[in-house]
Amino acid sequence: MNDIRPQGLSVVIPVKGRVGLLRDLLVSLRTARAGCGEPTEVLVVDDSTAGDADAHRRSCAELDACYLRGPRRVGSKRNLGARAARYDQLVFVDSDCRVTDAYLARIGKVLRDSPPEVGGVAGPVRMVGEETAVLRLFRRTQELNQPFSWPDRYAQITWSACANLAVRAEAFHAIEGFAEDTLTVVGGEDVDLGIRLTKSGRPILCDPDSVVLHSRATGDSVGSIGRRLFTYGRSATWLDREHPERRNFRLNPISVVASAAAVALATAGPTRGRSLAAVPVVLAAVVAAHARHRLRPGDGPAALPEVLASTLLDWSFDLGEFVGAWQLRRPRYLFSRFGFMDGDTFRAQPDGEGARR
Q: Residue 214 is inside which H or E element, if any?
A: strand 212-215
Compute how many other C-beta atoms are within 10 angstroms of the C-beta atom of residue 49. Answer: 9
Alpha carbons 125 and 123: distance in angstroms, whole number: 7
Structure confidence at residue 133 (pLDDT) = 67
Taking phi first (over 0 means left), then psi (-120 to 50 degrees means alpha), and beta for anything else, what does residue 140 get?
A: alpha
Query: What are the angstrom distances between the C-alpha of 31 and each of 25, 35, 103, 133?
Result: 10, 7, 10, 33
Alpha carbons 131 and 119: distance in angstroms, whole number: 35
Structure confidence at residue 85 (pLDDT) = 98
Structure confidence at residue 299 (pLDDT) = 87
Give me the tens of pLDDT residue by residue for the chain, a chain 357 residues long: 456 899 999 999 999 999 999 999 999 999 999 999 999 999 999 999 999 999 999 999 999 999 999 999 999 999 999 999 999 999 999 999 999 999 999 999 999 999 999 999 999 999 998 777 666 666 677 776 689 999 999 999 999 999 999 999 999 999 999 999 999 999 999 999 999 999 999 999 999 999 999 998 776 678 888 999 999 999 999 999 999 999 999 999 999 999 999 999 999 999 999 999 999 999 999 999 999 888 888 888 888 888 898 899 899 999 999 999 999 999 999 999 999 999 899 999 886 454 333
Alpha carbons 339 and 356: distance in angstroms, whole number: 28
